[in-house]
Amino acid sequence: EVRAQRAASHGPGRTADGHPVALLANIGSARDLIADVEGVGLFRTELLYLDHTDPPGEQEQVAAYTAVFSALPGRKVVVRTLDAGADKPLPFLRLADEPNPALGVRGLRVSRRAPEVLSTQLSAIATAAAATDAEVWVMAPMVATASEAAEFAAACRAHGLPTTGVMIEIPAAALRAPSILRDVDFLSLGTNDLSQYTFAADRMCGDLADLLDPWQPALIALIAACATAGAEAGKPVGVCGESAADPDFALVLAGLGISSLSMAPRSIPAVRESLAAHTLEECRQIAKAALAADTPEAARAAVRSATPR
Ligand code: PEP
Ligand code: MG
């Protein structure tokens, strides 16, 4: 009993029967790191570029990446390449005025116009990775097609970065997950944007919060499809959107076969505790109930009744 309690408050994420579900941190810089974290599942690199009238130089980037990597020897750090545009506009890119920035040249699409931004970043990540012992994975935001994923993976390999993945934030990419997984090593589901694009509901629009609810059946179905594709390919599929921080939803994700959950560091303890209180089989039953529900309310109720506390 005491040991179970200790496992619930410290150490790696595990279900009650010991099935590992990595609990990783979302960070924007080395300052966000906390002690004893299993690793970083989303290193947002935009911070480096904000307030810059010119893109940050390669050396400046190497220093910022090294600060994070060197704090996590032997641990996984998933670096997301620049996710500019839309809600994260960058002055130096001076992208044409777009009537619909969320549907415009953002994320990986920026490299259509400014390929040097990505190549400089990959080069800096590779230099920092080579100088430290962190296990560095790289992923691209806002990928829509398998061709984009393949091109990104090739660019990473050309820079000596072997472990590459993509974020699944666009329904088209979720639907093509099996094909995308032929070219990359892992997927990370950005459920914030995946909700936005699935429901055509601006993620900043409070009036549409019900549509942006991660318990929506359509979102759960897309997550399940990606998890199944990962299991079939034998490749990890994680979640790094806000939904991973919901202790009940984390059970659904684990039951669907999601292998890592990445969230704001302060959310990790409650999710760890929730996982530690349920076996993998219980999580699978919970996921089945959530998948069968027709409304978010029904999904929540089904999970609540399966998790007495
Ligand atoms: C997401 O879209 O879920 C995500 C994790 O990326 P961001 O919130 O930075 O867009
Ligand atoms: Mg996103």
Q: Over the stretch 28-50, which tens digit does the pLDDT of each residue have?
A: 999 999 888 999 999 999 999 88
Residue with tokens 């009993």: 1
Angle at 156 between CA 105 and CA 40, to 5 degrees: 85
Q: Considering every ligand atom shown, identify the ligand nearest to the alpha carbon of residue 242 and give its number.
A: 1
CA atoms within 13 A on the CB side of 227: 21
pLDDT at 201: 98
DSSP 95: P
Tell me which residues have their CB within 5 A of the ion that is ligand 2.
Answer: 169, 190, 193
For every residue of 155-186, DSSP letters joined together read HHHHTT---EEEEE-SHHHHHTHHHHTTT-SE
For every residue of 135-158, DSSP letters joined together read EEEEEESS--SHHHHHHHHHHHHH
- Among 42, 193, 196, 212, the mutation site with the greatest number of ligand 1 atoms within 8 A of its Cβ is 193
Nearest to 224 by CA among 182, 275, 189: 189
Alpha-carbon distances of 142 from 190, 223, 293, rounded to whole Å? 9, 16, 29
**Ligand 1 residue neighbourhood (C-beta within 6 Å):** 42, 44, 83, 169, 190-193, 240-241
Residue 253 has pLDDT above 90, yes or no: yes
CA of 190 to the centre of ligand 1 (A): 5
| Cα–Cα distance for residue pair 274/23, rounded to 1 Å | 12
pLDDT at 306: 82
CA of 142 to the centre of ligand 1 (A): 9
Higher pLDDT pick, 305 / 123: 123
Whole-model pTM: value is: 0.95
DSSP 39: E
| Cα–Cα distance for residue pair 216/206, rounded to 1 Å | 16
ipTM passes above 0.85: yes
CB 250 within 8 A of CB 241: no
Q: Closest residue (by CA) to atom 9 of ligand 1?
A: 44
Angle at 194 between CA 233 and CA 101, to 5 degrees: 130
CA of 3 to the centre of ligand 1 (A): 35
Task: Let me know if 263 is exposed, middle or buried by CB neighbors in 10 A (0-12, 13-18, 19+).
Answer: buried
CA of 22 to the centre of ligand 2 (A): 20
| Cα–Cα distance for residue pair 18/15, rounded to 1 Å | 5
**Band of residue 4 on the pLDDT scale cut at 50, 70, 90:** low
CB 61 within 8 A of CB 73: no
